[in-house]
Structure 1
Amino acid sequence: MLLLVLLALGGVEALSLEHYRQSCPKAEAAVTAAVKQAMSSDHTVPAALLRLHFHDCFVRSCDASVLLDSTSKSKASEKDGAPNASLHALYVIDNAKRAVESLCPAVVSCADIIALAARDAVSLSGGPSWALPLGRKDGRVSLASDAAASLPAPTARFEQLKQAFNARGLSVKDLVALSGAHTLGSAHCSSFQDRIASPALRPSFAKALRRACPANNTDAAAGWAFDSSTPKAKASFDNGYFRMLQSGRGLLTSDEALLTHPKTRAFVALYAASQDEFFRDFVASMLRMSALNDPAGEVRAHCRRRNSS
């Protein structure tokens, strides 16, 4: 399903659909090509790129600060924070940046590339696409401590999730719609080990999780797909996550939290019943979240380091 959506977003005048029309008209195509190439050999890329975008936007803003490497002159960067330890597929952004730089040097920001790659990850996985306003700037501040303080934990309860989203101008509806991104990807055992004994889980599901993640598990890579209704290699962006939640197969405490409040529970039911409604609201919420940016930043020549110290 293709949705071409343009919302009138207040307070984001710096972003525009026309931003690169003259300066780098082939930028979007170059990013899409990089995402397609990566997806052809690694089925985990779509979920990784979508998660990267969320983790970037929730710390300060959508400014690509999550990509900055730590240096001997600066403190540990965001990517070194505990919540970001499992981020991967950053090479896709590097590849896209190189391709764009070859077309139009020092024009397209890394923050825009992340936002475009996340959009493409969704649409190339069978989800909606959308017209994305561009013109984000790259931030110069990146601290591991900010990542730990800003990103909701997998053990977060409803009020904690609500507070984290409200702090970024996002509503309870945005919280549920954006949680639907868990239709892609998986979580490591350590993220839900304590939850396996929860009475909220369907018994057969809890049994399967115990087999995959025994109490004495030593495999750091072991885990479970958020939406296990389809094989990992064929995972598609759909509303399966919400149907799994309703059937007692929510993987994380933060997933189950969506069923603990009447308003969020109603949105879960709506999206489980209608994929069109989910797609429509997901696009609107993604546009709201990705509009968070500080126009005082820069356009980095290399995504992993600032232009100057």
Structure 2
Amino acid sequence: MGKLILEGDFSLLKGKNIAVIGYGNQGFAQASIMRDNGLNVIIGNIKDEYYKKAEKDGFKVYEIPEAFERADVALMLIPDEIAPEVYKSVEGIIMKKEGFILDFASGYNVAFGFIKPPSTTDVIMVAPRMIGEGIVLLHKEDKGYPVLLGVSNDYSGKAWDYAKSLATAVGAIGKPGGVAVMSSFEEEALLDLLSEHTWAPILVSAIKAYFDVVTEKYGASPEAAILELYASGELAEIARAMADVGIFEQMKFHSTTSQYGQFTRAEKYYDMLKKISEEEAEKIWNGEFAKEWTLEQLAGKPVLNRLWKKYTESKLSYSESSLFKVLGRKK
């Protein structure tokens, strides 16, 4: 089991200039919490609506190269697909700064070699297992949240200490519910991508298959099917119960009919789904998926765009839109 860390402090970061690169979901959350903790935080962003939002929120905001020039520590909180290009624009600046601390919230680009920081840099990872909005809500309740920590390069000999310190500074550990797991860039990339390649798409497929069968073959109303599947909020409550008491303990909240149906069908599907998981894990681990996704981006994302069109023009999507308008969830 990976070592669990519940407590920490951010004394190592006091007096340092910390640049948060990207003021999106994670950038806003982590920058705000670090500022609340009394640390020196600036924002690096291109001049867009997020740049203006950061200024409005009271941060000193700079174009990304200048933010790196001013910083001792930088948090790369931008999407994986644009991070390599952004990194290239500041690589020369980083190379001149011996002992610079470069943090990533995702292991992807370092794990697969799309970003290769210089050996004179401490390269760390503090990867929240939660969206930025959730982090902010927990911070307001003085609660922590889970993160994975990693070190790709330990130039100073204190890289792990910096990772723990940053995890504390962004509100993850040192509070009720907070935990950091000592991990690696490679492990984080595998775990994150495998979620996106297995249970998440399987859930989407299962919901769509269920909807198509009951509405097309058995004449069930689309509204009733969508409410049963997820729109009632029951699915979210089940997920919350899993997080609170465990995947099997939460089964006790269901009827025995439900328990029997779920366990017996889990047995039916397990071997097939394990095989899919094994195949997808291998493609991630050996770099095959990273190559596939890079080529897709270079081609202008034709597969992604086609699938967006296919799913958003489906009967399920149209029926959901109509239902959500009636419920006041969509204008």
TM-score, reference length from structure 1: 0.28
More helix by share: 2
Higher RCO, 1 or 2 (CA under 8 Å, sep at least 6)?
1
More strand by share: 2
